[in-house]
Amino acid sequence: MVIAIKTSSFIAIDTELSGLGSRKALLAESIEDRYKAICHAARTRSILSVGFACYKKLDNKADSTYLVQVYNLTMLCSEEYIIEPQSVQFLVQHGFDFNKQYAEGIPYNKGNDKGGDAHGVNMRSLFVELLRANKPLVVHNGLIDMVFLYQCFYAHLPERLGTFIADLSEMFPSGIYDTKYATEYELRFTASYLEYAYKKCKLENSKAIAGGGNGSHVFLEFCKYTGNMESYIDYRPCLGNQNQDGALNICVQFSAYGWCPNGSQCPMSHDTDLIIQHDERIKEDKRKKRKRKNKKKDSQGPSETCSSPQGKRSHFEEAELDQAVPMSEPALPEHQEKTESSEPTDAAHVFEPGKTASKNVNEESQPEASSEAPDRPKKKKAEGGTHRAGFDAFMTGYIFAYARNLTEKTEESNTAPLIPACLNKLFLSGKSVPLHVAKSTFSKSSKAHVHKMDYVWGKSTDVKP
């Protein structure tokens, strides 16, 4: 894992959590109040699994070709922590093995380093290696992820948001990128929950390849693990998109936000492939209508420019909805990319206000259910077992690779931001502006962070408690 981290071009991270507490507090109008609520959750709840997706761009290959290594780590907090019932239900529905977690989970202590924590072969040492590698970090709706990672594997959280942001900017000097922000404001997709954004990027990339244009495309390669590593690899089938003609019984709620209050009991389809086909069809219909209107020179009313399917509203218009119901990030569908999970552990997104107990607070996604034929809407959908922190990290990395490929210049320096417009901007649900990760002249770094940085960069051999 350390080799994969050190040789990567960028690293995508995702977490699964035991809970988040009050959803209303997590969507408070004041960002400082939101931060305090997330801090309270990070101090009382725990990380159940962490996903790493290391993307290494291969310069000797055509287009944008990446070597991808995906790791899925199941964690076990050594201290008491709260676990929320709906989080357990969500995780179990998606194949999370709690027996395996308590038997084989990687132990860790929260807050500042204790005893030999900083020197052992453990998660805190791995997190130090992540910082030393100084690679761009990619998350999806990642503010909650960053707060939990800081508290669980780095140091005690500072009381003020400004101090936390100052620490974060020094921890990841190569930048933090949020694919939720990139999807909303750069790619401008109809929806921006993780699974939708990933499949949309994959579809657009496939169309570009099939079209044979001159532009660059994204290609992925995976390691061929052998020997004793084979027992740690978890494969998932990559099923083709299910094209269905005729009327589609799409769940409007899930289509727009990746989350449905009825879950697997919903009679409508939650199949993301069908939802994207539905969106594309409506977009094409609107394009044809505009074309006909232009031909008739019909000047009545403004032309329709919205590409959203009927029944969908902007996330900001749906702020009350976000506060009314818990949400979760999209589960990685059953037709995921060929990602090898090089850890004998599973994980699934917990309940979150945007990510069940993870981090997607605005448009959220609930347990993903297998699609069913529209003529049999009442059949109960079976929950898939492919929702893993590792797979979600992979999807996050793919979205970033696709967005980077669209904005990449032919001649760019090694120090230039990978996607300049998205550098150090964390998505904030219900807000029209992101949270900028930059140290303010009015904020100081926390003492725990300063001591830890000295250790990370070799200025001291020990970490002060």
Residues 257, 334: Cα–Cα separation, whole Å: 19
C-beta separation of 91 from 367 below 8 A:
no
Rg (CA), the chain: 22
Residues 296, 42: Cα–Cα separation, whole Å: 59
Residue ranges of the chain with per-residue pLDDT less than 70: 116-119, 236-248, 297-386, 409-415, 460-465
| Of 109, 140, 127, the residue nearest 172 (C-alpha) | 127
The pLDDT, as a whole number, for residue 118 is: 62
DSSP secondary structure letter of residue 327: B
The pLDDT, as a whole number, for residue 240 is: 55
Residues 24, 33: Cα–Cα separation, whole Å: 11
Tokens of 57: 């761009």
* Residue that has been written with the tokens 């998205």 in this structure: 422
Say which amino acid occupies 41: A
The total of other beta-carbon atoms located within 10 Å of residue 423's CB is: 17
Tens of pLDDT, residue by residue over 306-336, are 444 444 444 433 433 333 333 333 333 333 3
β-bridge pairing 218-222 and 47-57: unpaired
Q: Three-state SS across 33-48? A: HHHHHHHHHHHHCCEE
The strand ranges marked E within 24-164 are 47-57, 64-77, 106-108, 137-139
The pLDDT, as a whole number, for residue 239 is: 60
Angle in degrees, 0-180, between the axes of helices 447-456 and 161-171, rounded to the nearest 10: 10
C-beta separation of 237 from 433 below 8 A:
no
Residues 218, 400: Cα–Cα separation, whole Å: 11
β-bridge pairing 137-139 and 10-17: parallel
The pLDDT, as a whole number, for residue 274 is: 82
List, as one string, the DSSP characters of 256-293: HHS--TTGGG-SSB--HHHHHHHHHHHHHHHHHHHHHH
Residues 362, 155: Cα–Cα separation, whole Å: 28
Q: Which residues pair with 308 in a beta bridge?
A: none
